[in-house]
Amino acid sequence: MKKRITILTGAGMSAESGINTFRDAGGLWEGHDVMEVASPQGFAKNPELVLNFYNQRRRQLQLVKPNLAHKALVDLEKLFDVTIVTQNVDDLHERAGSSNIIHLHGELLKVRSTGNENRVLDWTKDLNLGDRCEQGHQLRPHIVWFGEAVPLLEQAAIATQNADILIIIGTSMQVYPAASLIDYAQGHVPIYFIDPRPSVSENHYNHLTVIAKTAVEGVPDLVRDLIESI
């Protein structure tokens, strides 16, 4: 039976593909206060601003490609049972070829009805005011905004709890509830944390290895070591 690897990925996973990280040091996201463009209140106040913001992100996404770190994770699937839990809303894991991905914070290339959150549609073009579902409700980005529930959190927690190996890549471990997932790992499980500016040290958790490198620098080497260890 294959060992189970759960991989938690954040903004640093996609940064080297050219996708900007979530927010800069000043707390702004592409020049906007995060609450203006990533909250239900912001959408209610100025839906056109919010839609345009995600239209720009969607256009940018279609210009970038998976990087070497995304591609390296695909190799693990040959020998391990791999689940990727990502905070990223891009589709770069899918495009690289990974097959089992939980998008905690939603997906940029999907939209959903404001009248029925279970009505989710694939969407690659701009989303504008007046674009409605078949029941007449305005469509919105399929993104989990601040203050909203994280529907796939329980699924992600179970994947982390069942892991034989946990890998964390490119995340500050500061954004909750995603940051709490590490606490679901069993005490004996080896944890690898890859980030150029790691926010945890090896005395924080048992069996933790900190790799202070970017995703592109650190992931391919770790993948090779795990494959060779079998």
**Sign, Cα dihedral of 64, 77, 173, 181:** positive
Burial class of residue 14 (count of CB atoms within 10 Å of its CB; 0-12, 13-18, 19+): buried
First to last CA, the chain: 12
Cis, bond preceding 177 (omega within 30 deg of 0): yes
| Position 58, amino acid | R
Beta bridge partners of 9: 86, 169
| Position 93, amino acid | H
Q: Which positions are catalytic?
A: 105
Residue carrying structure tokens 């097959």: 99
d(CA 64, CA 99): 20
